[in-house]
Amino acid sequence: MSASRKSIPAKPRLLPARTLFMLPAAASLLAGLNAALLLLDLPAPLNTVHWGEVHGMVLALGFVGTLVALERAVALGRRAGYLSPLLLGAGSVLLLSDVPRFAGKLGLLAGMAALVWVYLPLWRRQRDHAVLIQLLGAALGTGAAILWLGGVDMALLLPWLVAFLVLSIAGERVELARICMGPLAGTRALQLSWLLTFAVVASLLNPAWGSIGFGLVLAALALWLAAHDVARRTIRATGATRFMASCMLAGYGWLLVAAITWCFGLPGTRAAYDTVIHAVFLGFTISMVIAHSSSILPAILRRPLPYRPMMWAPAILLWAGLLLRLWIGNGLGYDWAWRAGGVANVLALLLFLALAVASVLIGEPRPKPAAPVPPAADRPGSGTSLLAPKPPGIGPADGARPMPGTNPAARPPRSGLSISLREPEE
């Protein structure tokens, strides 16, 4: 074998056909950001006023719901499982078009019902608490779609949407980190999930007291997840591990902000309503999407999404924008901060989307070549040199065999040409 032969670079894998299901999700995200600018009374690329009326459902079910359904369809491994992301994406696109809104609402309802069906064989396969928690979340998301189809006000069905997103992510965290959470983690998380489900129903039947109960249970779930998640330990690591832990802990913090706001009753004012929506959908959900993007997207795309330090930029911009919008804007009543924070959130999502696409296309970063290690005699402070005579009695004589029990790698190098079968690095 010739030592000068160059290694043949591997051809990049083709994207699987299921990648097409992500196109409606991406369109839903971009349309939701366009509508967000219009709701902030700012210029937007497209002046489509009716998008502002549906942008909440488009982002919650059309974007996040499609990602959740697509990841679950991959886990199921059946073609029928892809019916859920197909219907959710189609329903979201119909909502953004000029067709009657009823068609889009019906598409979202059918997609969420199909997601519930996907969880049933997953539950029969595993019989795991984490799957049951996610099944509860999908059922509550289906309830939100039914209520919206029936004309229920968004403020009343908001707990149903929040529970869908929170339980889907909570079940995922229990599934991934059950070893570190302890043997009773699944049972405790399931108990809190059932309490949250009852609180969601109570918030619809009695909005005044039910909303307070929903806020209390949501706060308990957020605190339990933050206290038992492995992110509390991995935050001390470096690189991608610390980045993921930071995003997850920040997400729990924003979820707690929304829960505390709900503890004061039904969020009827603009400031309270804006706070709970964006603390959950941006602070919690998007932080978790960013944290898990390096594990979820590669499972869908069959391409790695490597961590790069610049990914901190959209995450920090997202949290800074939320702090400006919710604290100074909604809390202190400054409209300029409310708009500036909203613009920062839009830029953060666009920046993360661009970095994720670029990172997938570029691939894994090339490792830096290791610096050659000098011989021990040439290291500073060794006190010896290659030209210095060898002290007597140290090491075998030239050409002598090593003593039995000694390391063969310690024998002196032989003279002549050395042939290595290792491929040279480019």
pLDDT tens digit sequence for 370-411:
555 555 544 444 443 333 444 444 444 444 444 444 444 334
pLDDT at 127: 85
Token duo for residue 412: 């002196």
pLDDT tens series, the chain, 426 aa: 444 444 444 555 667 778 888 899 999 999 999 999 999 999 989 888 889 889 899 999 999 999 999 999 998 989 999 999 999 999 999 999 989 999 999 999 999 999 999 999 999 988 889 999 999 999 999 999 999 999 999 989 999 999 999 999 999 888 877 667 777 888 899 999 999 999 999 999 999 999 999 999 999 999 999 998 888 888 999 888 999 999 999 999 999 999 999 999 999 889 999 999 999 999 999 999 999 887 777 777 777 788 888 999 999 999 999 999 999 999 999 999 999 999 999 999 999 999 888 887 776 666 655 555 555 544 444 443 333 444 444 444 444 444 444 444 334 433 333 333 333 343
pLDDT at 399: 43
pLDDT at 295: 76
What is the torsional sign of CA 106, 109, 113, 114?
A: positive
pLDDT at 12: 55
pLDDT tens digit sequence for 27-68:
999 999 999 999 999 998 988 888 988 989 999 999 999 999
Helix/strand/coil (H/E/C) assignment for every residue in 51-119:
HHHHHHHHHHHHHHHHHHHHHHHHHHCCHHHHHHHHHHHHHHHHHHCCCCHHHHHHHHHHHHHHHHHHH
Q: Report the distance separating Cα 383 and Cα 163, nearest Å.
A: 69
Angle, to 10 degrees, between the axis of helix 154-176 and the axis of helix 239-262?
A: 150
pLDDT at 298: 76
Cβ neighbours of residue 239 under 8 Å, at least 6 residues apart? 307
